[in-house]
């Protein structure tokens, strides 16, 4: 739970590095909160059957999404830094969403174009997911020191300075 709080404390910190555990625990806790809230709100609305209450609960959910947007962007950028990638790769996460809205504004695209846009979106999202699942750079990189200096990867050979 402290990883979730730590991300919120670094609300808009886009520099530095975030380890895999920090990133994934933040996202898993957000997922659990959203699922729990959605189920609870649906149960309440189904019992009370008030359109006004439905709108209020929906707006509360939207406020939560907006509240965690900047911490999500920040921890994702720091996670990319931890794998020695630029924060600009975060655009790959939003490519499916961007392409979906693009299709609304350009409705007469051909099937081939739609297929290409979908494939590019899918590939970029998979690349982003691979970056998020990758191990940390074991040593300091251009974005800062390793956030977990006590943990080293056993599959990455360590270079000693004693020759």
Burial of 29 (0-12, 13-18, 19+ CB in 10 A): middle
Q: Tell me how far apart the alpha carbons of residues 35 and 26 are, in angstroms, rounded to a whole number.
A: 14
Q: Which residues contact 53 (CB under 8 A, 6 or more apart)?
A: 44, 45
Whether 144 maps to a domain, the answer reads no
Whether 10 maps to a domain, the answer reads yes
Whether 27 maps to a domain, the answer reads yes
* Residue of 148, 33, 30, 155 lying closest to 79 (CA atoms): 148
Count the domains in the chain.
Answer: 1
Tokens of 121: 């979106």
Percentage above 90 pLDDT, the chain: 58
pLDDT digits 0-9 by tens, 9-37: 998 999 999 999 999 999 999 999 999 99
Domain that residue 49 falls in: 2-133
Q: Tell me how far apart the alpha carbons of residues 112 and 32 are, in angstroms, rounded to a whole number.
A: 38
Whether 143 maps to a domain, the answer reads no
Whether 111 maps to a domain, the answer reads yes
Whether 76 maps to a domain, the answer reads yes
Higher pLDDT, 153 or 146: 146
pLDDT digits 0-9 by tens, 85-141: 999 999 888 887 777 777 777 777 777 877 888 888 889 889 999 999 999 988 899
Whether 150 maps to a domain, the answer reads no
Whether 160 maps to a domain, the answer reads no
pLDDT digits 0-9 by tens, 38-49: 999 999 999 988
């Amino acid at each position: 739970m402290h990883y979730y709080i730590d991300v919120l404390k670094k609300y808009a910190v886009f520099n530095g590095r975030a380890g895999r555990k920090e990133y994934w625990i933040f996202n898993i806790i957000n997922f659990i909160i959203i699922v729990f809230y959605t189920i609870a709100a649906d149960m309440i609305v189904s019992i009370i059957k008030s359109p006004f209450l439905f709108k209020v609960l929906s707006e509360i959910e939207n406020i939560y999404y907006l509240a965690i947007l900047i911490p999500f962007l920040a921890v994702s950028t720091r996670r990319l830094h931890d794998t020695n990638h630029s924060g600009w790769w975060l655009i790959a996460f939003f490519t499916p969403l961007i392409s979906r809205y693009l299709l609304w504004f350009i409705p007469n695209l051909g099937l081939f174009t739609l297929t290409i846009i979908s494939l590019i979106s899918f590939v970029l999202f998979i690349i982003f997911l691979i970056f998020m699942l990758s191990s940390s750079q074991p040593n300091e990189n251009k974005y800062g020191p390793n956030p977990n200096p006590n943990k080293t990867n056993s599959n990455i050979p360590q270079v000693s300075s004693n020759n």
